[in-house]
């Protein structure tokens, strides 16, 4: 490129000759040169802009296309970076304290239909009706040839049924994987486990949700994939639970009772080892909730947790234990038992007349209402309410079941002195057998509060102290005397030193207005072994009666006590409790030597 000088000599000389200003030439050339430079840089900038624009266009096109494919494709789990175990996504198992399965899952299939894909709907309907007797062929056919595009046929089918449906060979009959909740032990622990059903359902999977019992209470835990399939460990012992159910069912039929409940609890930890409520049901095939009538007649009703009853004389030990704790009496204090005790328009009388006075131990042993009421008068209503509250009688139990909240105790509206007197012998306050078990556990374990639980306790916590050790021991001694020489003499089990208290409470009429004469709730609250209490067992029979020794008997001593004794005989060895054998003193000459 030829470079034009700013002041070309030829033009300058020419301009000088003509008398023009040569600077004009310089300015002209300079301006021209600037214009060229300007054009060039503009061209370059435009080129750059074009490249940049192209780059941005490409980038946005790529991003847009990627977004489009992401939006239109099926989401996929990233496989290269897997945290944890991606396979165990199903609902966790429920196991007992020894790891035996109480609830697990089974992979089954569901059956659905796409009627549009069917070649021969009539044949398919006929085949299905043959496999599933509950299906109606005409209805199925009407659905298949109608407007419907999709149709559920069965939620769950067995492998044999699946093969049979396969053999029909209709392309419109399809299977979806389906997880089924299985309770392999049938009705064992039915009330505790509750049951499960399906929540949101799709063709590819269905949500299993707990509907009652621990299945509902721990639904979140059981479904949480972060657990990686860790099972829910309950405090129950499957063997003990099954044995208890067997014994209680036998006892219930012998005593011709309408219902029965039992609770076996560890006195130190509050763990419920077995909890039975009869009649029961099969959680694999959970019956429907009653829509009319009394819910407590339904087998779904858990008498041990939801059933609140006046538990009768089993409450007497609370009054006596509190009076001993307050220092009002000791085990040998004489109590006035002259009956009837009149308070306003109320008259409190005993089953038999026990004479003018009894020791406080004998008040428990003979189960004197009058004696206990007098002790309650000494304690006073407020202190009694506080004490029963510290034993847990004033609110629903903390058992981890959805139903526990409905087992709220029925308390007197006005806790007056007469209420205190009747509550002292178990009338006027209704509570569940689990409440009673918890309170007896507190008395038996040396006086510490326990919280009833259905979960296995790894490290037991010692609750706040309610009673002193000495009072706890003398209370257990009194309860032991009830079995040795009192109302619960049929409860003696050789080697296990059973201590306990019977309670027979008349059932209140449903429509108010007093009590039935021939309907009772018979309860036996027991603790064993008395020398070192480990377990509390509550047995409650609803409306028992048995014909023994020439008359019909309804009292707990004749009904609940023998059932409880048989249960202890069966269950204590299963719990690993060794019978305590009194080694007889050897008779003979003791050899001594120097």
Interaction site with other proteins (CB under 8 A): 79-80, 82, 86-88, 90, 93, 100-101, 104-107, 182, 184-186, 188, 238-239, 242-243, 246, 493-496, 569-570, 572-574, 578-579
Query: Shortest gap between Cβ of 59 and other proteins (angstroms)?
Result: 21
Task: Give the CA dihedral 187, 198, 219, 281, nearest 10 degrees.
Answer: -20
CA separation for the pair 540, 523 (Å, rounded): 4
Query: Shortest gap between Cβ of 254 and other proteins (angstroms)?
Result: 17
Distances (CA, A) of 369 to 357, 559, 560: 12, 20, 20
| Tokens 């009421």 -> residue | 373
Nearest to other proteins of 241, 445 (CB atom): 241
DSSP 81-144: S--S-SS--SPPPEE-TTS-EEEEEEEEEEEEE-GGG-S-HHHHHHHHHHH-TTS-HHHHHHHH
Query: Shortest gap between Cβ of 585 and other proteins (angstroms)?
Result: 18
* Neighbour tally for 324: CB within 10 Å: 23
Query: Shortest gap between Cβ of 413 and other proteins (angstroms)?
Result: 45
CA separation for the pair 439, 527 (Å, rounded): 11
Query: Shortest gap between Cβ of 69 and other proteins (angstroms)?
Result: 18
Q: Is the dihedral of CA 351, 357, 362, 364 positive or negative?
A: positive
Nearest to other proteins of 29, 575 (CB atom): 575
Query: Shortest gap between Cβ of 82 and other proteins (angstroms)?
Result: 8
Query: Shortest gap between Cβ of 578 and other proteins (angstroms)?
Result: 5
For 248, the token pair is 């209680």
The burial class, CB within 10 Å (0-12 / 13-18 / 19+), for 257 is buried
Query: Shortest gap between Cβ of 137 and other proteins (angstroms)?
Result: 33
Query: Shortest gap between Cβ of 579 and other proteins (angstroms)?
Result: 4
Nearest to other proteins of 265, 493 (CB atom): 493
Nearest to other proteins of 241, 502 (CB atom): 241
Nearest to other proteins of 104, 333 (CB atom): 104
CA separation for the pair 274, 437 (Å, rounded): 12
Nearest to other proteins of 105, 398 (CB atom): 105
Distances (CA, A) of 451 to 400, 442, 468: 11, 9, 18
Buried b (16+ CB within 10 A) or exposed e, 87-100: eeebbbbbbbbeee
Which residue intervals of 380-416 are DSSP H helices?
381-390
Going by the DSSP 8-state scheme, the letter that residue 300 receives in this structure is: T
Query: Shortest gap between Cβ of 145 and other proteins (angstroms)?
Result: 37
Query: Shortest gap between Cβ of 279 and other proteins (angstroms)?
Result: 16
CA separation for the pair 550, 294 (Å, rounded): 34
Calculate ∠ Cα 399-404-409, nearest 5°.
Answer: 110
Nearest to other proteins of 91, 449 (CB atom): 91
Nearest to other proteins of 175, 415 (CB atom): 175
Nearest to other proteins of 101, 168 (CB atom): 101
Nearest to other proteins of 181, 374 (CB atom): 181
Task: Report yes or no: 575 and 535 within 8 Å, Cβ to Cβ.
Answer: yes
Nearest to other proteins of 58, 494 (CB atom): 494
Three-class HEC string of 189-248: CHHHHCEEEEEEECCCCEEEEEEEHHHHHCHHHHHCHHHCCCCEEECCCHHHHHHHHHHH
Calculate ∠ Cα 97-193-246, nearest 5°.
Answer: 75
Task: Report yes or no: 379 and 343 within 8 Å, Cβ to Cβ.
Answer: no
Query: Shortest gap between Cβ of 347 and other proteins (angstroms)?
Result: 45
Nearest to other proteins of 140, 242 (CB atom): 242
Nearest to other proteins of 37, 106 (CB atom): 106
Nearest to other proteins of 126, 223 (CB atom): 223
Nearest to other proteins of 3, 79 (CB atom): 79
Query: Shortest gap between Cβ of 343 and other proteins (angstroms)?
Result: 46
The burial class, CB within 10 Å (0-12 / 13-18 / 19+), for 233 is middle
Short-list 508, 491, 585, CA closest to 542? 508
Query: Shortest gap between Cβ of 415 and other proteins (angstroms)?
Result: 44
Side-chain-side CA neighbours of residue 547 (13 Å) = 1
Distances (CA, A) of 591 to 476, 584, 586, 587: 39, 18, 12, 12
Coil, strand or helix at 285: helix
Query: Shortest gap between Cβ of 180 and other proteins (angstroms)?
Result: 10
With residues binned 3-state (H G I as helix, E B as strand, rest as coil), the percentages for the chain, rounded to 5, are 40, 20, 40
């Amino acid at each position: 490129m030829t470079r034009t000088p700013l002041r070309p000599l030829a033009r300058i000389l020419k301009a000088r000759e003509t008398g023009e200003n040569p600077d004009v030439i310089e300015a002209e050339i300079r301006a021209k040169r600037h214009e060229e430079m300007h054009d060039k840089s503009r061209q370059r900038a435009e080129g750059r802009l074009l490249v940049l624009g192209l780059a941005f266009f490409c980038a946005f096109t790529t991003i847009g296309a990627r977004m489009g494919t992401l939006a239109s494709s099926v989401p996929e789990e990233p496989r290269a970076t897997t945290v944890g175990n991606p396979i165990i996504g199903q609902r966790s198992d429920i196991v007992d304290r020894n790891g035996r399965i109480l609830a697990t899952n089974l992979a089954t299939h569901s059956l659905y239909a796409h009627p549009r894909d069917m070649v021969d709907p009539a044949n398919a309907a006929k085949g299905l009706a043959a496999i599933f007797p509950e299906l109606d062929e005409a209805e199925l056919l009407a659905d298949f040839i109608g407007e419907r595009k999709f149709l559920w046929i069965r939620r769950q089918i067995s492998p044999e049924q699946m093969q049979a449906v396969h053999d029909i060979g209709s392309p419109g009959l399809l299977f979806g994987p389906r997880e089924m909740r299985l309770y392999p032990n049938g009705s064992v622990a039915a009330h505790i486990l509750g049951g499960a059903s399906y929540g949101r359902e799709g063709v590819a999977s269905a949500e299993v949700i707990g509907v009652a019992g621990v299945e509902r209470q721990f639904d979140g835990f059981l479904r949480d994939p972060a657990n990686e399939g860790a099972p829910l460990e309950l405090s129950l012992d499957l063997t003990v639970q099954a044995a208890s159910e067997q014994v209680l069912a036998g006892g219930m039929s012998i005593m011709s009772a309408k219902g029965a409940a039992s609770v076996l609890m560890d006195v130190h930890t509050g763990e419920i080892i077995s909890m039975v409520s009869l009649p029961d049901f099969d959680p694999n095939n959970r019956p429907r909730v009653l829509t009319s009538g009394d819910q407590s007649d339904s087998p779904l009703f858990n008498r041990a947790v939801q059933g609140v009853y006046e538990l009768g004389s089993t409450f007497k030990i609370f009054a006596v234990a509190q009076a001993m704790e307050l220092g009002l009496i000791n085990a040998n204090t004489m109590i006035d038992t002259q009956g009837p005790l009149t308070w306003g328009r109320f008259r409190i009388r005993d089953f038999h007349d026990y004479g003018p006075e009894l020791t406080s131990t004998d008040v428990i042993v003979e189960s004197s209402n009058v004696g206990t009421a007098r002790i309650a008068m000494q304690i006073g209503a407020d202190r009694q309410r506080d004490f029963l509250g510290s034993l847990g009688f004033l609110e629903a139990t903390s058992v981890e079941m959805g139903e526990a909240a409905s087992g709220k105790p029925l308390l007197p509206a006005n806790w007056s002195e007469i209420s205190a007197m009747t509550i002292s012998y178990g009338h006027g306050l209704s509570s569940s057998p689990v409440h009673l078990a918890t309170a007896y556990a507190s008395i038996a374990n040396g006086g510490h509060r326990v919280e009833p639980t259905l979960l296995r306790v790894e490290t037991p916590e010692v609750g706040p102290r309610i009673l002193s050790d000495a009072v706890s021991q003398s209370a257990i001694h009194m309860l032991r005397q009830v079995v040795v020489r009192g109302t619960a003499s049929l409860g003696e089990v050789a080697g296990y030193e059973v201590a306990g208290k019977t309670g027979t409470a008349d059932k209140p009429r449903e429509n108010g207005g007093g009590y039935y004469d021939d309907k009772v709730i018979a309860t036996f609250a027991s603790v064993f072994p008395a020398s070192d209490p480990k377990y509390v067992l509550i047995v409650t029979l609803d409306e028992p009666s048995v014909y023994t020794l020439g008359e019909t008997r309804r009292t707990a001593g004749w009904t609940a006590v023998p059932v409880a004794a048989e249960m202890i005989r069966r269950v204590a060895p299963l719990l690993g409790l060794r019978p305590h054998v009194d080694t007889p003193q050897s008779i003979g000459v003791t050899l001594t030597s120097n």
